Amino acid sequence: MKIPTPQQIKSEFQRDVQLPAWRGRGSKLQPQQAPVYEGRNRELQDYIADLAKANLVEHRRAVAQLRDADAILARGRKVRRILAQVMGLSKLPPRTPLKAKTVRTLHREGYEIEHVIFESRPQVFVTANLYLPTGVARPVPAVTWLCGHSLNGKAYKNYQNGAVQLARKGLAVLIADPAGQGERDEYVDIATGRRTIDRACRMHAVAGEPTYLLGSNFGALRLWDAMRGVDYLQSRRDILPDRIGAVGGSGGGWESIWLTALDQRIRALASNVYLTTWHRRIESRAGDAEPDPEQDPFGICVDGIEAADLIIACFPRPVALGTTLRDIFPVDGTIECYNEGRALYQRAGMVERVSIAIGDDGHNLTPEIRRQTYRWMRRWLADDPAPDENETPFKPEPEANTYCTRHGIVLRDLGGLTTAELNAQWARELAQQRQARQRRRTWPADVPAMLRSLLQLPEPQGICAILGQPHAMGKVTVQSLTTTCANGVGVDGKLWLPQQPGKQPPTIYLADLQVGDQPSIDKKCRQMAESGSVVLELAPCGRAGLRECYTDFVPLVETTLTYNAYLLGRQVLSMRVADVLWAASWLRRQPAVNGHAVRLHGVGYGALLGLLAGAVDRDIASVVEEQPLTSLSSLAWNRCYDWPVSVIIPGILQKMDLEDIRASLAPRPLTIINPLNHLRQSLAPVAARDEFAVVRKAYQAVRATNVLITRFKKP
């Protein structure tokens, strides 16, 4: 693998961001759809939901044993350790100089707005508006108001309204643009100012999903920005440093409660239209299929940890929740979290420190929620026994009035680093570390064991296989295959039997995710069978009969299933690898195969399944990768890519990349046909030779270069 230089990464980013349609399905905005789980993917969704329910039961049992404040505090400490670990914040980045500056100030009736820029990390510019009350003695308490998924970030009129109302009530309010929103849009044509992604959630997904590969989470970047915002507030003489609250709705509701849980400096919280049990979130995700990596940290729902533990992590600080009757985050789960938190605060004699407001609306900050927010912040930050919760007339500022930069685009006016560039820097460091490990004598023999650990492979689940009636198709016979599985998620396929078995090894054929043309798959399998190979065309769990739907470039069924599994520390990818391993074992036992070793032939996503299964099962005779992803690092090295989140193995780049896995197959035969880059484009032969140099070296070391076959298509 050729590691790009920082200059090459920067150059590629500047080029890619201006591509008019940089993902295969991203050229035309499609209306929001709701994925429909049916057939095998319905079984997979139900299985994941059952795991979440079992975790919820364990959580309730653990919380029921918390009898006093000391026990609640002890669980809070445990929860904070887990929250920091899954979010990638066990070790905080260094607190580098903020270099904060106020670029201009707007004076309004009862308040003023300072336009502030600071660096949360070197060259990571955060644009923010600080609303300061006028006509009152300073220093004053302050609130950090965390944005939801508004494309215009801090300029969204509802956030402006909340900041103005609190400022007129004597509180300072800091609203900063999150990464990927407002002036910090990271997918924008710098020359024209035109966005290349039209929804903030999808922008977060594209920038944030590669962070899983690094063993972290996009939320770590966002939360660190928020923590540095608190640093900025505490650095000002006109702010009371020990009286800072956090407020947010939707994505800001997520960020505000996670920030409060992890940062003890937050004195009071109002988290709105976000918190619900993760079990109910998993059950209802089809109603809100937006990809949000920051809200889905890998492995949070383990050992009885549930969403209500976020409240426990905030104890004994005051917590207010806001929800609505028709919220996309199920209200019944919100009420369950509130009731649990209230019971614990009551046991500690602090029941007045928990509150809830429920509005009759959809996903929105209703008047009830807003009034509770004003009342809560005044009460707990300003010690106001009778806080004013009413709103005064408000006129939002035009978006340009909120700009801290000249053109409202940080990348154009200030430059700096984006999330994708931070990921690329980290991925580059990990690649250099892996190259050092490749020189050790135990490499690549230790790769299969490490890969099993990363995949957390479940036991192969097929316990019964049922073959349908055979029917002839020319020179071959075809039978359907259906399995009954211990976890309730079936696997399907077709068994293609040649009339005259030849010397070709029995083959398991694994199609690509995006292939919807079943006749073309049948034609391929039929040709292989006519050449004398017994062929099992396999649809691993959740794939049979799938009717995928897309919004822009997002495959909604595949994405929601992957995120649901991530919350539970599971991977749909590894479940499918386990299905391939079961199928290989089953196929070897069939009379037509007679114990012969099995070959795996995968295309696109199916090539990844075959490669992983072949690496962990030494009984696999050979692997054929057709149109495979060349490297996982390429997803983190580039701002744009065209592979689904389900190819991502959390944390893998800390240990290995696909080149290491391919090298571990030596001396077994490996065929690589038309490898693809991050954009699903064919690699040029020169680039391909560089990418597979490590694999060739491994095969040379065992004198097996004759069974390493590479075929490159002219791009």
Q: Of the ranges 179-193, 371-385, 552-566, which is most confident? A: 371-385
State how far the alpha carbon of 255 is from the alpha carbons of 96, 154, 166, 269, 569, in Å: 22, 14, 19, 11, 21
Bridge partners for 112 per DSSP: 107, 132
144 close to 244: Cβ distance less than 8 angstroms: yes
Which pLDDT tens digit goes with each residue over 27-57?
344 555 788 898 899 999 999 999 999 999 9
Which residue range forms the structural domain that includes residue 111?
66-426
- Residue 19's pLDDT is 52
Alpha helices in 66-152 (DSSP H): 69-87
CB atoms within 10 A of CB 561: 25
State the average pLDDT over residues 234-248. 98
Judge contact between 587 and 593, C-beta under 8 A.
Answer: yes
Same domain for 348 and 473, yes or no, is no
Alpha-carbon span 352 to 418, nearest angstrom: 42
Of 224, 231, 277, which Cα lies nearest the Cα of 84?
224
Query: Letter for the amino acid at 109?
Result: E
Question: What secondary structure, in 3-state letters, does 617-686 show?
Answer: CCCEEEEEEECCECCCHHHHHCCCCCCCHHHCCCCHHHCCCHHHHHHHCCCCCEEEECCECCCCCECCHH
Q: Evaluate whether residue 666 is within a structural domain.
A: yes
Flag the least confident range among 240-249, 259-268, 513-522.
513-522
Is 7 within a domain?
A: no
Q: Is residue 136 in a domain?
A: yes
Q: Among the listed ranges 18-22, 261-265, 330-334, 484-488, which one has the minimum average pLDDT value?
A: 18-22
pLDDT single digits (tens) 326-345: 999 999 999 999 999 999 99
**Residues 377-407 as b or e (16 or more Cβ within 10 Å = b):** bbbbbbeeeebebeeeeeeeeebeebbbbee
- For residue 337, the one-letter residue type is C
Say yes or no to pLDDT of 210 above 90.
yes
Phi, psi of 355 (to 5 degrees): -150, 160
> What average pLDDT does the segment 154-178 reach?
98
- Give the mean pLDDT of 681-707: 91
Do 421 and 520 have their domain in common? no
User: Which CATH number covers residue 395?
Assistant: 3.40.50.1820
Could you tell me if 247 and 367 lie in one domain? yes
What share of the chain has pLDDT > 70, as a percent? Answer: 96
pLDDT recorded at residue 517: 60
- Do residues 164 and 228 share a domain? yes
**179 and 112 share one domain:** yes
Return the pLDDT at 30: 54
Residue 235 lies in a domain: yes
Q: What is the mean pLDDT of the chain?
A: 92
Is residue 502 pLDDT above 80, yes or no? no
* 8 domain-assigned: no
A 10 A CB-CB count for 711 gives 11
Q: Determine the average pLDDT of the residues in 103-111.
A: 97
Q: Are residues 422 and 446 in the same domain?
A: no
Q: Taking Cα atoms as reference points, which of 200, 207, 314, 193 lies closest to residue 265?
A: 314
**Residue 525 pLDDT > 90:** yes
What the block records as the tokens of 222 is 């966002």
What's the DSSP call for residue 394? Answer: -
Check whether residue 105 and residue 163 sit in a common domain.
yes
**Res 458: pLDDT:** 87
Q: What is the mean pLDDT of residues 313-318?
A: 98
pLDDT value of residue 514? 64
Tell me if 628 is assigned to some domain: yes
Asked whether 336 and 308 are in contact (CB, 8 A), the reply is: yes
- Is there a domain that residue 58 lies in? no
Q: Is residue 17 part of a domain?
A: no
Residues 337 and 477 in one domain: no
First to last CA, the chain: 19
Burial class of residue 19 (count of CB atoms within 10 Å of its CB; 0-12, 13-18, 19+)? middle
Residues 414 and 442 in one domain: no
Beta bridge partner(s), residue 622: 599
Bridge partners, residue 507, by sequence: 535, 599
Binned at pLDDT 50, 70 and 90, residue 609 comes out as very high
Give the integer Cα–Cα distance in Å for 571 and 582.
17
Instruction: Please classify residue 157 by burial: count the beta carbons closer than 10 Å to its beta carbon, then call 0-12 exposed, 13-18 middle and 19+ buried.
Output: middle
Beta strands in 94-196 (DSSP E): 101-108, 111-121, 124-133, 140-146, 172-176
Q: What is the pLDDT of residue 28?
A: 44
Please name the residues in contact with 7: beta carbons below 8 A apart, sequence gap of 6 or more.
none
Give yes or no: residues 389 and 517 share one domain: no
Q: How far apart are CA 417 and CA 428, in angstroms?
A: 15
Q: Are residues 572 and 704 in the same domain?
A: yes
What are the phi and psi torsion angles at 359 (to 5°)? -100, 155
What is the percentage of the chain residues whose pLDDT exceeds 90?
Answer: 79
**Are residues 614 and 476 both part of a single domain?**
yes
Q: Which two tokens stand for residue 704?
A: 């097996």
> Looking at the 3D structure of the chain, how many domains does it have?
2
